Structure 1
Amino acid sequence: MEITIEQRYAIKFCVKVNKTAKETFDMLQEGYGEACMSYSQAKKWHKAFKEGREDVTDEARSGRPLTSKTDNNVSCVRELLNSDRRMSVRLLSDSLNLPKTIVHEIVSEELGMRKICAKLVPIVLPDAQKTHRLEVSKEMKKMCRDNPNFLDNVITGDESWIFEYDPETKRQSAEWHTTASPRQKKARMSKSRVKSMLIVFFDVKGVVHHEFVPPGKTVTGQFYKKVLQRLNNRVTRVRKQIKNCWKLHHDNALPHTSFVVTSYLTKIRVDALSQPPYSPDLAPPDFFLFPKLKRELKGKHWDTVETIQSTTTSLLKSLSVEDFQGAFNSWKSRWQKCIDAEGSYFEDF
Structure 2
Amino acid sequence: MLPVYGGKCLSSKAVHNWVDKFPQVRSKVVDCVRSGLPVEIATEATVQRVEELIRVDRRITEEMNRMGLSLQHLLRYVEEGEDLLNTIITGDESWVHIYEPDSNCASMHWKYPTSLSGSTKNFKVTSSAGKFMLAAFCDSQGVLSVHFQNRGENMNFASYREVLLKMRDAIRRKRPCQLAKGLLLHHDNAGPHTCRATQERIQELQWELLEHPPYSPDLAPSDFHLSDPLRDDPDGKSFADDEEVETECRSG
TM over 0.5: yes
Q: Of 208, 211, 215, which residue of structure 2 is paired with 1:271?
A: 208
Q: What residue identity is the alignment partner of 1:169? A: S
Calculate the aligned-residue CA RMSD, in Å: 2.0
1:260 Cα deviation (Å)? 1.9
Q: What residue identity is the alignment partner of 1:159? A: E
Q: Structure 1: where are the runs of 5+ without partners?
A: 1-124, 316-349
Within the alignment, does 1:150 sit opposite 2:84 as a pair? yes
Within the alignment, does 1:164 sit opposite 2:101 as a pair? no
**Alpha-carbon distance in structure 1 between the residues aligned to 2:225 and 2:104:** 20
**Residue in 1 that maps onto 2:108:** 174
Say whether the 8 Å CA contact 2:132–2:152 is kept in structure 1: no
Within the alignment, does 1:239 sit opposite 2:175 as a pair? yes
**Secondary structure at 2:246's aligned position in 1?**
helix
**Alpha-carbon distance in structure 2 between the residues aligned to 1:230 and 1:253:** 19
Q: Of 292, 298, 307, which residue of structure 1 is paired with 2:244?
A: 307
**Secondary structure at 2:164's aligned position in 1?**
helix
1:279 Cα deviation (Å)? 4.1
**Alpha-carbon distance in structure 1 between the residues aligned to 2:139 and 2:111:** 42
Say whether the 8 Å CA contact 2:132–2:153 is kept in structure 1: no
Q: Of 68, 71, 79, which residue of structure 2 is paired with 1:135?
A: 68
Say whether the 8 Å CA contact 1:195–1:305 is kept in structure 2: no
**Residue in 1 that maps onto 2:131:** 195
Post-superposition Cα deviations, 1:296-326, rounded to whole Å, max 9, x if no partner, equal 12232223332222111110xxxxxxxxxxx
**Residue in 2 that maps onto 1:283:** 220
**Alpha-carbon distance in structure 2 between the residues aligned to 1:302 and 1:232:** 31
**Residue in 1 that maps onto 2:14:** none
- With the length of structure 1 as denominator, give the TM-score of the two structures: 0.51
**Alpha-carbon distance in structure 2 between the residues aligned to 1:280 and 1:306:** 35
1:278 Cα deviation (Å)? 4.2
**Alpha-carbon distance in structure 2 between the residues aligned to 1:292 and 1:217:** 21
- With the length of structure 2 as denominator, give the TM-score of the two structures: 0.69
Select the structure of larger CA radius of gyration: 1
Q: Structure 2: where are the runs of 5+ without partners?
A: 1-57
**Alpha-carbon distance in structure 2 between the residues aligned to 1:165 and 1:278:** 32
Q: What residue identity is the alignment partner of 2:80? A: N
* Pair 272,165 (structure 1): closer, same or farther in 2 beyond 3 Å: same
Say whether the 8 Å CA contact 2:130–2:151 is kept in structure 1: no
Within the alignment, does 1:228 sit opposite 2:167 as a pair? no
> Aligned residue pairs: how many?
191
Higher relative contact order (CA 8 A, sep 6+): 2
Say whether the 8 Å CA contact 1:236–1:243 is kept in structure 2: yes
1:201 Cα deviation (Å)? 0.3
1:207-218 aligned at under 5 Å gives the runs 207-215=143-151, 217-218=153-154
**Alpha-carbon distance in structure 2 between the residues aligned to 1:215 and 1:170:** 26
Say whether the 8 Å CA contact 2:132–2:151 is kept in structure 1: yes
Post-superposition Cα deviations, 1:76-103, rounded to whole Å, max 9, x if no partner, equal xxxxxxxxxxxxxxxxxxxxxxxxxxxx
Say whether the 8 Å CA contact 1:280–1:286 is kept in structure 2: no
Which protein is richer in strand relative to its size?
A: 2
**Secondary structure at 1:230's aligned position in 2?**
helix
**Secondary structure at 1:282's aligned position in 2?**
coil
**Residue in 2 that maps onto 1:184:** 120
1:151 Cα deviation (Å)? 1.0
